[in-house]
Chains A and B, each alone.
Chain A
């Protein structure tokens, strides 16, 4: 008997008005898998991640998280979101709260943890990611890289079984990208199951167990990073990667 996949998408469709963004996505992540989603801007990477976190309702298909169908009618969305961490491109920290309060809000208010417990765990996580001395600061006092690491810690504090990362380095100055990528690398090594949308091809190649190329609303090609980046089968994947190389991003 095999364990249930960490995440399973079957025939997921999603439209905004007349515009069909996802046209039948099939995807499976085993526990501890790190899967990178690549694809042109507007191909629907963010939409896919937002669907998994139920921030967007899907029109067709089903999504199964650790054996539970989360797109079934009557599922409590808040419960599902507590099991899935998401980190956005724009950090989206809460500007009126200190770093520590940002990190403890979810555990205290959504999970019902005691303040002492939540703070102890938050401090430990902050320390692990080099943010121990920033616990009392407000987000606008931090660099972009620090803010994004806080956003990652905020998601981790919920002890999620799956992390969704949406272009978490795209809003950062180039010199701040490395510190955030190393945090993600550490997460991958610690066995976190992750679905990562990214434009950082060399990072995807380096960290991903599998890479999915999203094109025209479907996963056109899926494979291990070596194969995708060196010997893509689909002409559209080749074109996409050629454009990336031409832009100096691989």
Chain B
């Protein structure tokens, strides 16, 4: 026990040491590059950095809101698509086909095109009964695109549940829908939490694309700042903020994966 604690400390020290060496090498390489002084002025201006910090985090709150609202629609909508795709029998062929076309289409078209087409196209239709707010259409575009990805994640989860589980549920007289709801989906969703969180991280980044429609979120705000100061430092600030939000999500994903693996090992050991 003590030996392993000591060796644990030693490997931590080694990891720390090698990280520092690596960082120093990278910093030296970059700061000795011939163009470094110019890059430093353009991207790492202390003054601009401080000014940006006063406006960009506030704008970033809008990214967080976009993310949360989009996610609230994506999770159920994608589940619906995954379920449609798994419907059995010839009667449901049209629905299955629709779900396949949907997933293929929105995974195939670049997100930025969907954003542009909906964000500029839909309001231009001039229909009085649809919203013209670009923020609205930006969120719709993200929901459409990410639901396609997330539906595939769900589908993989549903298919990973062994058919004998459905047979067992149906043999108790549960309908297909109830077997899905009480037996298959709970197991499927549990298994796909890590890949689901991965898609969350992707969505969080892509909230910046809504800025292309003129919505003043963090990316758009940093464009404005950059134009005002003739300096790129605001972009660096925005990048840092995005990273700061991504890290906890990424670590949470890792932790969940590790926990699942531990549980599986423990379960195998108990038998």
Contacts and interface: CB of A to CB of B under 8 A. Distances in A.
Given A92-B168, A143-B271, 11 more contacts: A53-B171, A55-B170, A81-B170, A81-B172, A88-B164, A94-B165, A94-B168, A94-B183, A105-B172, A140-B271, A155-B172
Given A94-B183, A109-B182, A141-B270, A78 B173 contact: yes
A79 interface: yes
A111 B173 contact: yes
A82 B165 CA distance: 17
A182 to B, nearest CB: 22
A51 interface: no
Interface of B: 164-165, 167-175, 178, 182-183, 186-187, 190, 267, 270-271
B218 to A, nearest CB: 39
Query: What are the 9 tightest A-B residue pairs by CB atom distance, in nearest-first order?
Result: A82-B173, A106-B172, A92-B168, A110-B173, A140-B267, A81-B173, A86-B171, A78-B173, A92-B164
Given A96-B186, A105-B182, A141-B270, A90 B173 contact: no
26 contacts: A55-B171, A78-B170, A78-B175, A81-B171, A81-B173, A82-B172, A82-B173, A85-B171, A88-B167, A88-B168, A90-B164, A92-B164, A94-B169, A94-B183, A95-B187, A96-B187, A105-B174, A106-B172, A106-B173, A109-B174, A109-B182, A110-B178, A140-B270, A141-B270, A144-B271, A158-B172
Chain B contact residues: over half helix, strand or loop, or mixed?
Answer: helix
A212 B188 CA distance: 40
A92 B173 CA distance: 15
A210 interface: no
Nearest to A50: B167
Interface of A: 53, 55, 78-82, 84-86, 88, 90, 92-96, 105-106, 109-111, 140-141, 143-144, 154-155, 158
Nearest to B263: A140
Contacts of A85: 171
A77 to B, nearest CB: 8
A64 B170 CA distance: 20
Contacts of A105: 169, 172, 174, 182-183
A90 B169 CA distance: 14
Contacts of A55: 167, 170-171
A111 B190 CA distance: 27
Given A94-B183, A95-B187, A158 B173 contact: yes
A94 B167 CA distance: 11
Contacts of B169: 94, 105
Contacts of A106: 172-174
A2 to B, nearest CB: 28
B187 A78 contact: no
A182 B20 CA distance: 67
B184 to A, nearest CB: 10
A17 B75 CA distance: 39
A23 B33 CA distance: 82
B171 to A, nearest CB: 5
Nearest to A89: B164
Given A88-B164, A92-B167, A94-B183, A109 B178 contact: yes
